[in-house]
Amino acid sequence: MLAIVNRRDDEAVHGVPRNQRAAFGGMCEACYSIIMTPMIWLALSVIVITLIGVVIGRFPRLHMNRATIALVGATLLAALGAIPLDAAYAALDMDTLVLLFAMMVINVNLRLAGFFRLVGSEVICLARTPRQLLALIVVSSGVLSAIFLNDTVVLMLTPLVLDIALALQRNPIPYLIGLATAANIGSAATIVGNPQNMIIGVSSQIPFTTFTGRLAPASLVGLAVAWGVVTLVYREEFAAGRFPAGAGLPREVIYRPLLHKGMLASAIMLVAFVAGAPIPLAALVAAALLLVTRRIKPQRVFNEVDFTLLVFFAGLFIVTGTIQTTGLSERLFAVSRPWAEQGVASLTIVAAALSNLVSNVPAVLLFRPLVPQLADPQAAWLTLAMATTFAGNLTLLGSVANLIVAEIAKARGVHLSFSEYLKAGAPITLISLIVGVVWLIVAL
């Protein structure tokens, strides 16, 4: 079994006498034990390689996606003894996994009912100018993402945005960038807006209304920032002009019984959130209501649920849990605490940088054992939610929502390149983070 890093022994550490440790400059026993324990270095190597694979999304010559990389890494750590099997089970955050699963079931039912296409087509068809079209895309993407997960929203709205942009003979790129950045910014407003917020919401136990009250204003201003930056970067596309009368897309065919039931279940869930009910339970009750049906076979719903994402989360929980069981979290906390305790701005910089190095979900998981030890945990949790989410707009690889938009566009013959996205993504990220920091300093 792998020894805990911070074990202290008066006579020896891992069998090495104290007088021999003097050769290393009298370093502390915990630091010395890290250096002198090959198994800890082996475990750390597995963790680093796993996180690199998660960031890249694959390993050369291997057909492995992020979920399989996380799962294999977690299994290897357990096999090495870096984390005991019972500790690995305990590392699984069932509240977060249940919440994510329940939201997927709700989203699948709304998708099958035609809800997202209906809302998107109705809102977008109101536009009469390019600027209005972008504004409506940004608002609808941001608001829907705050309630129904940003990844789901861009998955459903990207084809619609492409259809209407191409039908109007407009350049689809700025509208796609507006869609992706707004989905990320809007999702920061609530606990159920994106996966990392779910982790934060469950871990922090911050009430739904408190969380939204603190972060929604920053998200609303951030949506305005996204619209303004995109219109400035693509001035020619948004020059004066009006769409021809009658332009738009035909109304979508919807399945009204399922739509009404889905909206009722979603309303019950939101009321329960506001009333202070446990968030995972409220979402699960809404999902269960939608599974009681005579019209839709359960297998059809479950076939649409992204179980790959659940496996990805489970693997990451175990990988980051290993950091705690080996004592490496204490070393990480010792390094990050001075930055984290300097205030909102300092923590935002660290969280945003880490999010772009290892992605936002792993970044939050790395911070999760550290935040409760800070002087003001609630402020730190809210800062992490804002910073890790807004930071996802920096590059095309910054969030899964960005990649979904790019991949769907590519399949339709529209190439959203890394450099093209960066032109608007970078200033949107910088300005929105500044807005978020200023707002949190005032609100907290």
Interstrand relation of 12-13 and 16-17 (parallel, antiparallel or unpaired):
antiparallel
Distance, in Å, from the CA atom of 302 to the CA atom of 103, rounded to the nearest integer, reads: 12
List the domain boundaries for the chain: 12-85, 94-443
Q: Please state the separation of Cα 183 from the chain's center in Å.
A: 11
Q: Which of 159, 82, 98 is nearest to 411 (CA)?
A: 159
Residue 415 phi/psi, 5° resolution?
A: -100, 110
Percent helix, percent strand, percent coil in the chain, to nearest 5? 75, 0, 25
Q: Name 360's Cβ contacts closer than 8 Å, sequence gap at least 6.
A: 194, 196, 388, 389, 391, 392, 398, 399
Read off the tokens for 128.
């009469």
Output 245-253 pairs: Cβ under 8 A, ≥24 positions apart.
Answer: 247/167, 247/168, 248/121, 248/124, 248/125, 248/164, 248/167, 249/121, 249/124, 249/125, 249/160, 249/163, 249/164, 249/167, 251/118, 251/121, 251/122, 252/114, 252/117, 252/118, 252/121, 253/114
pLDDT by position in tens, the chain (length 444)? 333 334 334 333 333 334 333 433 444 555 545 444 777 788 888 988 988 887 777 788 888 888 899 999 999 999 988 888 999 999 898 998 999 899 999 999 998 998 888 887 777 778 889 999 999 999 999 999 999 889 889 988 998 899 888 888 889 999 999 999 999 999 999 999 999 999 999 999 999 999 999 999 999 999 999 999 999 999 999 987 777 655 555 556 678 889 999 999 999 999 999 999 999 999 999 999 999 987 788 888 999 888 988 998 899 889 988 887 777 766 766 777 777 778 899 999 989 988 887 778 888 988 888 888 888 999 999 999 999 999 999 998 788 889 889 989 988 899 999 999 999 999 999 999 999 999 999 988
Distance, in Å, from the CA atom of 290 to the CA atom of 112, rounded to the nearest integer, reads: 12
Q: Count Cβ neighbours within 10 Å for each residue of 168-207 and write b for 16 or more, e otherwise.
A: bebebbbbbbbbbbbbbbbbbbbbbbbbbbbbbbbbbebb
Distance, in Å, from the CA atom of 281 to the CA atom of 295, rounded to the nearest integer, reads: 25
How many other CB atoms are found less than 10 A from the CB of residue 41? 12
